[in-house]
Chains A and B, each alone.
Chain A
Amino acid sequence: MAQMTMVEALNRALNESMTADDRVCVMGQDIAVNGGVFRVTKGLLDRFGADRVFDTPLAEDGIVGTAVGMAIYGLRPVAEIQFSGFTMQAFDQIEQNMARMRNRSRGKYPISMVMRTPYGGGIRAVEHHSESREAYWAHTPGLKVVIPSGPRNARALLNAAILDPDPVVFYEPKAVYRAFREDVPDEMETLPIGTARIAREGADLTLIAYGAVMRPTLEAAEDLADLHQVDVEVIDLLSIKPMDTETIVNSVTKTGRCVIVHEGPRTCGIAAEIIARLNEHAFEYLLAPIRRVTGFDTHFPYFQVERHYLPDSETIAEAVRETLAWE
């Protein structure tokens, strides 16, 4: 058992997966000699060599497209896109080939690959470095979308994503990269993709979040317990697609009230999909309208005002109290 940051835990997962399977290779901009701009791939070049850990030209579409080709050849590429804001350059290859090749080839060429990319705000970055566009990828048939919230589940989910037979978009909450340490077990760990985690049990209301906003969400839950004697259940989604509808529905069936938190823009965001599923499967148990605490339908703001855009624990707690007060 070691105390690790998320960066260290992700690095451990890459080491483990590359040791376990020599088809796994890591590629991207500045990931080899430099170890990645956030150092997630540090040390891999020395350990696994230049045929398995290599820098690419500065071309996101080319990175994803050639990674898909390598997956067709039977390798298991883990491609890093330096910031999720730059994945738009690769939309072409993600949509045309990464997501579709299994289907187009009628199963002959499954694309077992991972596109890792840091997402989200809160690090005082310039434009295009803070986006949360997971809804795009969740909307694309053929992809899986995974977003860890802490070091231990990040490590376990990355190992699972690399093993997965389908292409996985792996969003890393960069605000969490070095925010805290957590015990990470020594033995290899995976988590099943498509399964949410009950981060806190409670009876009064279900709070659903994922990724970086898990921290303010859990903080709000603790504050509500301490200050208002409110007992909130918190679900950490972990997997955006496939989504663990069962865990969500069971919880809301029990609590009857729900607030959903995410960083990305509200319209057609992940919360909208969760609400639709609760409408289909738990309508008769709902005691109040479901609330969303999300980013605005704006471009991610420049960093002097980014804290006004990002959901914080106060806003979340207020939405919970209002939902509880609804009759």
Chain B
Amino acid sequence: MPSQTIQTSAVRGTPDPTSSSRAVPPARIDLGEIDDLRVLDENGEVNEALDPGLPDDELLRVYRAMVLTRKFDIRMLNMQRQGEMGTFAPGFGQEATQIGQVYPLAQRDWYSPSYRSFGAQIWRGWPMDQLFLLWDGFFEGFAPPPDVNDLPFSIVIGSHVPLAVGIAMGIRKKGVEDAVVVCNFGDGASSQGIVSESMNFAAVFKAPCVFVVENNGWAISTKLEQQSGVTELARRGPAFGVPSVRVDGNDILGMIAASTRAVEHARAGHGPYLIEAVTYRMGVHTTADDPKVYRSDDEVRAWEGKCPIRRMERHLTERGLLDAETIETIGTACEQEVLAARESFRKRAIARPEEIFDFVYEELPPELAAQRDEYLRRLGRA
């Protein structure tokens, strides 16, 4: 992306005839240069110079992960519509962004997801039955699996970002391992003060933290132009001293190229990196949302042709790694995996009221112990 200048918009309202303001030309702002990255275009054509060069089995693995993410998403939506699942935030259309951002991470690395990141969580090792439990309101859904260095997501937008930076500061200050942290948030979160604070902290302390701002165009009903004075969110990075790249978020190879570059940078001790993944929320914000109120069908249709999964399918078919039959086989296998997880979820879906008190403190203080005992007595469980 070339260096850009923008003009400040004209002062709104009725011009004051006595004011000389109309004679003052608007100030110019130099937004600098940002790298724009795309490897796989909408027709499945690869830019060889930027191709991260994944071996065939890896290409199929990331393709399958995207398919699994979508199958999980669709199944959860069906379950929600049938009353078997709580309100959740689908990620339909953002599969490449999700898988690509965690692709280069090793087990010792950390990931701080936001609530639409379940594809990345599955990749990182969160069992799908547990994610069903999470979205259906069970405490145990939130516990990160023992061997997965991930945070449970925070619902308050952007509030998890300083935690990722703090972990990265800890890694750097303790200095015993070269782990990195990837932190995901959205275009809406970019407006939160704590997100700016966090990027600044990361830059000051050279924390090995990769920020992935998943720009899907909409924060519920607020479009990006209403969200941010600068709509290329990657441009915020350099102002904090954080190198940045803007990548086509529906291009899995571009995402992998970007996240690999960012993770290597952080791991080498050079500090944080910002990736803006430009994508689109094809579906609802959450199952409680109706996007028809605020956006047109035409806009959504325009993005249908940019589907990250179809794009990769075309590319892999051209490379001779997929055909109609294998696409069908992979789809069916993923669907079976999701259905097996649903069965496991149904068996595990038992709420225990005692859990309300389990992890508020390491040990229950006397007042809280009394509240628990009284409650359990009333339940007949004491």
Q: B359 touching A102 by the CB < 8 A rule? A: yes
Could you tell me the distance in whole angstroms from the C-beta of B290 to the nearest C-beta in chain A? 28
Given A65-B165, A93-B159, A108-B143, also A72-B201 (CB < 8 A): no
Complex CA gap A102/B365 in Å reads 15
Does A62 count as interface, using CB distance less than 8 angstroms?
A: yes
| Complex contact A70–B142 (CB within 8 A) | no
**A297 to B12 CA separation, bound complex (whole angstroms):** 42
A residues in contact with B49, CB < 8 Å: none
Per-residue interface assignment for chain B, residues 164 to 198, with 1 indicating a CB less than 8 Å from any chain A CB and 0 otherwise = 11111111011100000000000000000110011
Complex formed: what's the CA distance from A280 to B342 in Å? 47
Q: Do A110 and B362 have beta carbons less than 8 Å apart? A: yes
Q: Which of A243-257 contact B (CB under 8 A)?
A: 243, 245-246
Inter-chain contact B358/A107, CB cutoff 8 Å: yes
B151 at interface (Cβ–Cβ under 8 A)? Answer: yes
**Which of A51, A66, A71 is in CB contact (< 8 Å) with B198?**
A66
Considering only CB atoms, which chain B residue lies closest to A244 in the complex? B366
Q: Kindly report which residue of chain B lies nearest to residue A105, judged by CB atoms.
A: B152
Known: A62-B197, A96-B156. A69 touches B162 (CB 8 A): yes
Chain A residues with CB below 8 A from B173, complex form: 25, 51-52, 54, 70, 75
* A74 at the B interface (CB under 8 A): yes
Q: Interface size bucket, B side? A: 35 or more
Known: A73-B174, A96-B159. A106 touches B139 (CB 8 A): yes
> B160: nearest residue on chain A (CB-CB)?
A97
The docked-state distance in angstroms from the alpha carbon of A73 to that of B139 is 22
What B residues does A62 contact at CB under 8 A? 162, 165, 194, 197-198, 200-201
Q: Which residue of A lies closest to B364 (CB)?
A: A242
- Report the nearest B residue to A96, measured CB to CB: B159
- Please measure, in the bound complex, the distance between the C-alpha atom of A246 and the C-alpha atom of B159, giving whole angstroms: 38
Residue among A70, A92, A102, A109 with the highest chain B CB neighbour number at 10 A: A70
Known contacts A61-B197, A102-B359, A104-B152: does B166 contact A72 (CB below 8 Å)? yes
Q: How far is the CA of A194 from the CA of B198 in the complex (A)?
A: 34
Q: Given A57-B197, A57-B200, A92-B159, check contact A106 B169 (CB 8 Å).
A: no
Q: How far is the CA of A54 from the CA of B160 in the complex (A)?
A: 22
Report if B104 contacts A (CB, 8 A): no
A165 proximal to B (CB < 8 A): yes
Q: How far is the CA of A242 from the CA of B360 in the complex (A)?
A: 12
Residue interface mask A144-180, B partner, CB < 8 A = 1? 1000000000000000000001100000000000000
* B 340-382 to A, binary, CB cutoff 8 A, 1 in contact else 0: 0000000000000000001111100111100000000000000
Does chain A have a CB within 8 A of B140? yes
Are B142 and A69 in contact (CB-based, < 8 A)? no
Contacts of B365 in A (CB 8 A): 194, 241-242
B204 within 8 A of A: yes
Please indicate the chain B residues that have their CB under 8 angstroms from the CB of A142 in the complex: 360-361
* Residues B162 and A108 in contact, CB atoms below 8 Å apart: no
Evaluate contact between A65 and B198: CB separation under 8 angstroms. Answer: yes
Distance, CA A212 to CA B362, complexed state (A):
30
Structural contact, A97 and B175, CB atoms closer than 8 A = no
B166 proximity list for chain A (CB < 8 A): 65-73
Q: Is B163 an interface residue (CB 8 A)?
A: yes
**B-contacting residues, A285-324, CB 8 Å:** none
Bound-complex Cα distance A92 to B168 (A): 20
A75 touches B174 (CB 8 A): yes
- Smallest CB gap from A72: residue in B: B167
A interface residue numbers (CB < 8 A to B)? 25, 51-52, 54, 56-57, 59, 61-62, 64-75, 92-93, 96-97, 101-110, 141-142, 144, 165-166, 194, 241-243, 245-246
- Return 16 A-B CB contacts under 8 Å, by A number: A62-B165, A69-B166, A69-B167, A71-B166, A72-B166, A75-B170, A92-B156, A96-B159, A97-B154, A102-B361, A102-B362, A106-B139, A106-B143, A107-B358, A142-B360, A245-B367
List B residues at the A interface (Cβ < 8 Å).
139-140, 142-144, 146, 151-152, 154, 156, 159-171, 173-175, 193-194, 197-198, 200-201, 204-205, 358-362, 365-368
Q: Which 9 A-B pairs have the closest CB atoms?
A: A69-B166, A65-B162, A73-B170, A242-B365, A106-B143, A62-B197, A66-B166, A165-B362, A69-B163
Known: A73-B171, A106-B143, A194-B366. 16 other contacts (CB 8 A): A62-B197, A65-B159, A65-B198, A69-B169, A69-B170, A74-B170, A97-B159, A97-B162, A102-B359, A106-B140, A109-B151, A141-B360, A142-B360, A165-B362, A166-B362, A194-B365
